[in-house]
Structure formats: C-alpha cells, structure tokens
Amino acid sequence: MTATPRTDYEYRSVFLPKDASRTQAKEVLALHAEYGGWELARHVLWADGRRRVTVRRKKSAMLPPLAT
C-alpha cells in the first residue's frame, strides 16, 4: 500500500440565522471564499431554517483569519 500525501485543512463553522435568505448566505460565503481562501466543506439546513455551513482551506500562514 502506497502512502498518499495528506493535505491538512483548517475548518470553521459559519452559523446563519433562520431569517437569512439564500442570496444573503451565498454572498457571505462568496466573500469568505474570495478574500479568505475558504471553500465549502459542508452545509446543514435545519427544518426551522437555520443554517450551519462548514468551510475549509489549506493551512497556510499567509491567509487571513475568518471574519466573524
């Protein structure tokens, strides 16, 4: 069995309130992606409308932290 190189990621959760529209959620995530290098890892939509979005990016000392 050959060992494959493992890329380490850092993960952050972004919680969006139930009154946030789909467009607002998209804009927030687009800003994190464009300026912070984050990508979507997981999206959970609860029945009451709340969203928990998990984003990830490769670990790097040069990238800014996630704005909260």
Cα dist from 27 to 21, 24, 30, 37, whole Å: 10, 5, 5, 14
Cα separation, 1 vs 65, in Å, equals 37
**What is the predicted pLDDT for the residue at 7?**
72
pTM greater than the 0.85 cutoff: no
Q: What is the mean pLDDT of each run of 10 residues along the chain (68 residues)?
A: 67 92 91 91 91 90 64
Report the 10 Å Cβ neighbour count for 52. 13
